A and B are shown apart, each in its own frame.
Chain A
Amino acid sequence: MNAGLPGTGIGGIFYLASALAMPLREAYRRARGRKVGNWRVVAAQLAIAGGILGAMWVTGWLLGLALKAARPITGLGISLPPGNVLRIATVTLALGTLAGVLAGVELLRLWVGRRRPTRAGRQRAALPGKAAPAGRADPHVGHERRRVALLLLLGLLVPGPRGALAQSPGRLAALLARADSAWAAKAESIAAREYAAVLAADPENSHATYRLAQLTRDDPAAALRLFRRYVELEPEDPWGYMAVADALAHAGRYTEALHSYDDALRLAPGEPEAVAGRAKVFPRARAAAPAVTPLVSGTRDSDGNSTFRLGASAELQVLGPVRVGVEASRDRVTDGVSTAGLAQLALRAAWRPGRLASVEGALGGTRLERSDSVSTTVVPTGRMRARWRSSTHGPTVDLRAQRSVLAASPLLVDNRVVRTELRAVVEIPVARALKLRALGRTALLRDNADLNHRSTLGGVLAVALSPVIELSGQVHEIRYSHASTAGYFAPRLGQIVEAGSYVELETPSGWLLALDVGAGAQRVAEFGGQPGAWSRALRWYSLITAPLAPGRALQLELEAENSTIAREAATSGAWRYGSAALSLRWAL
């Protein structure tokens, strides 16, 4: 149906003006870097508007001529104004009327305040309000949406007397109307500021809560809190649960996300977005669920050493962001003549307080079985790793501490070579796709008779060609404090210069291929000697994950290195090495 009179009244002028404003609006949005609309529609409507204007002008012109010519027979006793005055007067009258009506509506909107903007809000109007603190979000820091949201959340949590603003429903309605206008115009920072002001005055306004959560996507934790708040306010709205689920999935909390999707589906059975979201999260939740992972691996190096490992890990408990598990393995190390053994057992835990930070560690012991079977020794071993990233593309700090047994050969096991190491990597984004990484390691190597020290410094310049492809140039330098006869190669100095690349490909069905390869040159200076000639250095690491079912995946790791100064531990000066590991992750 059409209300009013199409083509007459001020409706025609209103839509004409709206059509003429389209390109200006598009240009404004483009200038502000916002998503532009459909230019085809804009062009079509602009053409129609232009046609209407032309038709109006021609009509006015013809009418003027006709009236002038027909004055004697029309009976009009008045003298007609000259030129375009008639047309201008008509247009001015129509535009003036339209402007008056639109201005009247805006004034009415500001005047009317005895209602809430949403039906739900109306229902809550009788509820006692919780207050915003006097120092609520500063409206002048609109671009700092995250800060606004955090301050606002504080406001939501602190009860107190209702603020003066809340006692003025007209003012509140005006604020909300302004916020909605800004939202409609996609002026996000202004909208966030206005919604924050609305919530400061009326903490139970669900509409403003939801909108502000949408505008706080830069801070997933704050957005999640706001969406949860919305769910509290609107427990019957499935979209609230879906928004919470999305936010949880974004934070990697897949199991909780599944529960929220289930809540949404209970309220809206078959809702396609909830179904799709759940289907997307389900395999990830299974992948993140407690799992048992049996493992078999083997290595072989150019010195004739080989190792064979059977092991398994199991997650015992998942308590929100904390995961606790146990891992055990048994190794056999042989050089073709003698054979040593290791048995390792450790408790491990991981804590992921947010999407951008994680801490994980393991603590246990390793039993060393000498090749002569004369004795066994238990060595405390463990590791700790903490990672923190300031934002998705911000600086990153990665700290590791590790105590482990060097077990690349029976000789190393017999000599009980234990390495205690601290490692730090700092990554600083220089530009959006350019990162600078600095690496430092310091390690103590203790054996039956000696204590050695190894230090490593490195620098990496990495260019991200895409989110899954990275090219890098790397320089590393390794130094030992003295040579060793315990079974590991300890030169005075080793230098590596290489080009590396990292690629990570994942299919929608869950197949994953990660490839980290490097090729370059290296040189070594032994104690008492000068650096030798540069020689070839190659390394290869690949990981293939094959999904078998949700939560079940087979994982194959292949690694090879051709390095005189292997970054972990080489057993001799001309060392090459290869390894393969196969594991099966079986979510419980």
Chain B
Amino acid sequence: MLSFFSGADVTVIVPAFNEAASVADTIRSLQAQSARPREIIVVDDCSTDGTGDVARALGVTVVRPPANTGSKAGAQTFALRYVRTPLTIAVDADTVLAPEAIERLLPAFGQRGVAAACGFVLPQRVRSVWERGRYIEYLFAFTFYKQVQEYYGKPLISSGCFSMYRTAILRAQGGWSNRTLAEDMDLTWSLYQAGYEVRFVPEAVCYPIEPRTFRLMSTQLRRWSHGFVQNVKLHWRDVLAVPYLRSAVAVAFWDATVAAAVYLVALPVLAVLLASPWVLLGYVIDAPAVLVPVLAGAVPRREVGRALASVPAFFLLRTVNAVFFLRAVCAELLLGRPLRHYEKGH
């Protein structure tokens, strides 16, 4: 059979539950890719806001499971059966891609052992304090942490909002698992354990919508923090066999537990004991150090002003982040009350 398709031999899966407001932008950004995917599959996970109709109107494939799958992982895995291409991309329904994002990711699969690749993430909107905090967090992490992880061959997570996978390997892994609330981390670590490689390609940029209110942010942080602890609990033995990853996970776990406790408790206690509010300067004492990678990421994007204006929000988000991680550690590890319900946030 002759084929006149000249784009990328990839299928994009867009899981969507009540995403009518944002899914059109996502689809349009996929259709405008320099390497246009062979097929775009929107999983209308039994939405009630017409998400499926919006997607259908844009000419993409829409599939609908018989009942709500209950999680993003469930919706993505449901769609995996329809994929006929060797590569699969997962994109969140609130995420738009830079025009060359897919094209930039493709070369990573020139190496045989590569099972997944992800790109640089930046918030689509940077307006509220929470979006600003997340903006700095991403600039910091993707400019510094993730680049170092990539150099050592072990990006900690192939981001769930935009990642490309080898379909065969993805299927062999059983798709995305919903045994934890952080299916992207679960999959990434599983791939490492199976001997595969994961790549981070900073030139492939995506823009998800980040939580703009505290309520949405808390929903997301609860899911992420519990997901992280669940993954550590699930994978820790196997992660120990993966060089560098074990160190990165150990450090992250330490910071999510002990360092968070010190951060939240020790500084106020010291301030009280010493009767000096100056001790609380400790919360922002690392601001200059944080600014270095943030500005390194912002300067090439000509976003220095936005970055500087957003830095204070980062310290607020960091504190809230610490609270949620401590709660998650207590609930999952100490109290034995794991979070199972997947609550949608942005």
* Chain A residues within 8 Å of B, Cβ to Cβ: 1-12, 14-15, 18-19, 22, 37-38, 41-42, 44-45, 47-48, 51-52, 54-56, 58-59, 63, 67, 70, 74-77, 97-98, 101-102, 104-105, 108-109, 112, 115, 117-120, 173, 176-177, 180-181, 184-185, 207, 210-211, 236-239, 242, 267-273, 275
Contacts and interface: CB of A to CB of B under 8 A. Distances in A.
Nearest to B232: A3
A120 to B, nearest CB: 8
Contacts of A38: 151
A45 B289 contact: no
B248 A14 contact: yes
B65 to A, nearest CB: 23
Contact of A184 (B244, B253, B256): B244
B143 A48 contact: yes
Interface in B319-334: 321-322, 325
Nearest to A242: B112
B122 to A, nearest CB: 14
A242 B167 CA distance: 16
A8 B263 contact: yes
Nearest to A275: B86
A75 B147 contact: no
B246 interface: yes
B6 interface: no
A1 B157 contact: yes
A52 B140 CA distance: 12
Contact of A268 (B112, B167, B242, B252): B167
A202 B168 CA distance: 28
Contacts of A59: 285-289
B213 interface: no
Given A56-B289, A63-B285, A105-B240, A272 B251 contact: no
A290 to B, nearest CB: 31
Contact of B321 (A5, A176, A237): A5
B5 to A, nearest CB: 13
22 contacts: A1-B228, A7-B290, A7-B318, A9-B254, A10-B251, A10-B254, A11-B254, A12-B289, A41-B147, A45-B151, A47-B296, A51-B292, A52-B292, A76-B276, A101-B254, A118-B238, A120-B194, A177-B241, A177-B243, A181-B243, A238-B168, A268-B167
A497 B224 CA distance: 80
A27 to B, nearest CB: 14
Interface string B250-289: 1111111011100100000000001110100100011111
B193 interface: yes
Nearest to B319: A5
B193 A117 contact: yes
Given A2-B141, A5-B255, A5-B260, A15 B241 contact: no
Interface string B174-201: 0000000010010000100111000000
B60 interface: no
Given A19-B148, A59-B288, A101-B250, A184 B195 contact: no
B243 A184 contact: yes
B259 A4 contact: yes
Contacts of A101: 250-251, 254
A102 B147 contact: no
B275 A75 contact: yes
Interface of B: 9, 84-87, 109, 112, 137, 140-141, 143-145, 147-148, 150-153, 156-157, 166-168, 172, 182, 185, 190, 193-195, 224, 227-228, 237-238, 240-244, 246-248, 250-256, 258-260, 263, 274-276, 278, 281, 285-293, 296, 318, 321-322, 325
A42 B151 contact: yes
Contacts of A52: 289, 292-293
Contacts of B258: 9
Contact of B140 (A7, A45, A239, A273): A7
A15 B146 CA distance: 9
Most A Cβ at <10 Å: residue of B9, B109, B193? B193
Most A Cβ at <10 Å: residue of B144, B150, B193? B144
Contacts of B157: 1
Contacts of A120: 194
B11 to A, nearest CB: 10
B259 A1 contact: no
B251 A4 contact: yes
A571 to B, nearest CB: 59
Contact of B195 (A102, A210, A236, A238): A210
Contacts of A3: 156, 224, 228, 252-253, 255-256, 325
Contacts of B145: 2, 6, 11, 15
B276 A74 contact: yes
A45 B228 contact: no
A255 to B, nearest CB: 23
A271 B166 contact: yes
Given A101-B250, A118-B193, A270-B167, A177 B240 contact: yes
Contacts of A7: 140, 286, 289-290, 318
Contacts of B144: 15, 19, 45, 48
Given A12-B286, A112-B237, A271-B168, A5 B250 contact: no
A176 B248 CA distance: 19
B151 A22 contact: yes
Contacts of B296: 44, 47-48, 51
A51 B291 CA distance: 9
B286 A119 contact: no
A37 B293 contact: no
B241 A2 contact: no
Given A6-B141, A63-B285, A102 B247 contact: yes
A9 B172 CA distance: 37
